[in-house]
Amino acid sequence: MACYPAMHCDFPPAAKPASLWWRQAPAQSTSPTWKSDPLIVGKPAIKTLSSLGYAIVRFLESHKPLIRHVQKNAHGSMTGLSPWLSAESAATPVLENAQGLFGTALGWDGHSISVQRLWLSPEELAAAIQFLPKGDDPDHHAIPENVAFLDEPPHANSAIWPALLRLPLLKDYWGQQLRSNLLETLLQVLPFSWLLDPAPVPNGAVIAGLNLPSWESFDQSPAGKHHFAITPAFASAHNFAPISASDISSALAQYPGQAAVLSPAPADARNVIFAIYQQSEKGVALLRTLHLHRSESGDQITAGDVIAK
């Protein structure tokens, strides 16, 4: 739904769009230099990383009940969400009892962290782990051997979920599904995205996160200077590029047959943090953090620890 009450929005400054360069890092540098100087982040960032793993699991577990909830109320309060949520999209497996390793990738801009990929595939997780030095520092948790990597759940990285997380219509639902601290953590690290809804924005309201009174005014707003992706709801955002109100209009014209989502490109973070978690019968624990740093020229990659100060 495109209509939101007016609110303060802190849209990120214009920046070169992220290329998720770390996904090609192993091919570029199979033996990165392990830095003795760690990436220093604030204690709040470490606290966020510690709780984020469990928040991600609970968030993904809440998707299937949400789709059932929308289908049950398809002719009532949830009518407007039906074009984005279908029975076919309810394929998220149960993660609560799964045991193994999983990870997430986050950009660090020097002040805050933001998700670049919510759930790493087993191949991406293995690529991140291979950057750890051999004979890991005994002061850190070592990556246990013979522990399975959890598969990437279907639709885990779909563009739609950050949009639904911030939807006022679903505020009560998320409040029931997620503890307040978990919800706060997710809102801190997940980027805005927007359901491209042709419904007119009421007078005095704006599209939250963009401060637009209508989609037609996109070109005249600061948002028009940034890179975005327009994708089907359950695709992951990629191929970020400058877009115009005309591009948005074309996507809106396909509604409701193909309801789309607008996602902003993450800033080009030269520091990417990998948080590696282990889920066991005891719960979800942050096992290890590391970061990759890309040189300004882009031809050198170093790896290192992440510590709080």
For residue 70, give the nearest of 55, 56, 87 by alpha carbon.
87
Overall domain count for the chain: 1
The string over 131-165, giving b where at least 16 C-beta atoms fall within 10 Å of a residue's C-beta and e elsewhere, is bbeeeeeeeeeeeeeeeebbebbebbbbbbbbbbb
Residue 260 lies in a domain: yes
Is residue 266 a contact partner of residue 17, using CB atoms and an 8 Å limit? yes
Arithmetic mean of pLDDT, 300-305: 85
Tokens 């090609």 -> residue: 24
Alpha-carbon distance of 279 to 276, in angstroms, equals 10
Arithmetic mean of pLDDT, 202-223: 88
Residue 8 lies in a domain: no
Predicted confidence (pLDDT) at residue 139 exceeds the cutoff of 70 = no
Alpha-carbon distance of 70 to 173, in angstroms, equals 11
**pLDDT band for position 137 (50/70/90)?**
low
Arithmetic mean of pLDDT, 290-305: 84
How confident is the model at residue 128, as a pLDDT? 87
Arithmetic mean of pLDDT, 109-137: 84
Residue 276 lies in a domain: yes
Residue 302 lies in a domain: yes
**pLDDT band for position 8 (50/70/90)?**
very low
Q: Find the domain containing 86 and state its range.
A: 21-308
Percent of the chain at pLDDT > 70 equals 83
Predicted confidence (pLDDT) at residue 51 exceeds the cutoff of 70 = yes
How confident is the model at residue 25, as a pLDDT? 57
How confident is the model at residue 83, as a pLDDT? 87
How confident is the model at residue 275, as a pLDDT? 96
**pLDDT band for position 50 (50/70/90)?**
very high
Q: Please give the residue that has the higher pLDDT: either 186 or 154.
A: 186
Predicted confidence (pLDDT) at residue 136 exceeds the cutoff of 60 = no
Residue 56 lies in a domain: yes
**pLDDT band for position 174 (50/70/90)?**
very high
Predicted confidence (pLDDT) at residue 230 exceeds the cutoff of 60 = yes
Residue 245 lies in a domain: yes
How confident is the model at residue 127, as a pLDDT? 87
- Phi and psi torsions of 74, nearest 5°: -60, -25
Alpha-carbon distance of 248 to 42, in angstroms, equals 38
Predicted confidence (pLDDT) at residue 1 exceeds the cutoff of 50 = no
Residue 168 lies in a domain: yes
Residue 216 lies in a domain: yes
33 bridge partner residues: 302
Q: Which residue type occupies 70? A: V
